[in-house]
Structure 1
Amino acid sequence: MDKMDCDILKLLQDNGRMTISELSKELALSRPSMSERLVRLQEKGVIEGFTARVSLKEIGKDILLLIQVSGLKVTLSDFEEVIKDEAEIIECHRVTGEVSYFLKAAVSDVNSMRALIDRLIPYGTINTSTVLNSPVPYRTILPDIKE
């Protein structure tokens, strides 16, 4: 990866709907060259896909939770299968240390939060935190380039 690839990644993370023409103009690169670079970045797995960031509040998911799961009472694979079926869990990370998993969940209200926690309790020790504010909700990520 070179600086041009990093510039492409930055622009696409800021606005994933930029067209090849817009990217080409912004970076002073021909459209065929831009297309080639995008294909290469996708083939290498650097660009995993294109998605939309959705406002949780605007879709009625007013409470964001961070859930720590420790002391699992089932196998890791059994727990992971359960989590995959929980629509309110929007991220799941297996981690090292005392805690086995960190989950990120979005729920509509306190009753939904309670119901989710109640569904998780049989699988281990659950410690839930409610997010009050997210000063860094999303950050552009770029590789370190040695010049």
Structure 2
Amino acid sequence: MAEHTEGLDELDLKILSFLQDDGRMTFKEIASRVGVAERTIRLRVSNLRENGTLSIVGVVSPMKIGLNVIAAIQIAASRDQLEQCAKELAELDEVRFVALITGEYHILSEVCVESNEALSDFIVQKLNKVTGIERMNVIVELKILKNKFNFIREN
């Protein structure tokens, strides 16, 4: 298992490992695999969810629902409008990810749209109206080779 993280013990990490591979795995099955009571698993999962360590969601493949163009967009924003810029980006429906980053650009976002034309429309009609953007670099993902959500690794 991964190194211990503050507040997480070996049992928490095992539970997280099972759930990252199969978010629908029953508490009973997890309990059986790790050798503890089902109630223990139920309480641990509840605590992991309450403290923000774990979210159980269905991950939808954008391409399977018609969002065939995914673009990473690096944004350089004016320093005094950086927070406002990031907030406005996060409110756009097409934007699925926003992070403040280091380097030449200040914000990294990911956008999912139906087509190249839709990407162009998004940039012209929405992105260009976001407060504080000085310049951007649009990187279209041609082929996804790895897209993982399992962060806990076994030794």
Which bracket does the TM-score occupy, shorter chain normalised? Answer: 0.7 to 0.9
User: What letter matches 2:18 in structure 1?
Assistant: L
Match of 2:145 among 123, 135, 138: 135
Q: Deviations over 1:60-81 (max 9, x none)?
A: 0001100000143871232123
Please say if 1:70 is aligned against 2:80: no
Which shows bigger deviation, 90-99 or 68-77?
Answer: 68-77
Consecutive aligned runs of 4 or more in structure 1 exceeding 3 Å deviation: 71-74
TM-score (norm 2): 0.82
- Confirm or deny: 8 A CA contact 1:6 1:143 kept in the other structure: no
- 1:2 corresponds to which residue? 9
What is the aligned-residue RMSD (CA, Å)?
2.2
Residue 111 of structure 1, aligned match among 110, 113, 117: 117
- 2:102 matched to 1:100? no
Give the gaps of 5 or more residues in structure 2: 1-7
CA distance in 1, matches of 2:117, 2:80: 26
Equivalent residue letter for 2:118 = S
| CA distance in 2: counterparts of 1:15 and 1:117, whole angstroms | 36
Distance (Å, rounded) in 2 between the aligned partners of 1:116 and 1:9: 37
Q: Structure 1 length as normaliser, TM-score?
A: 0.86
Residue identity over aligned pairs, in percent, reads 22
For 2:35, the equivalent position in structure 1 comes to 28
Gaps of 5+ in 1: none
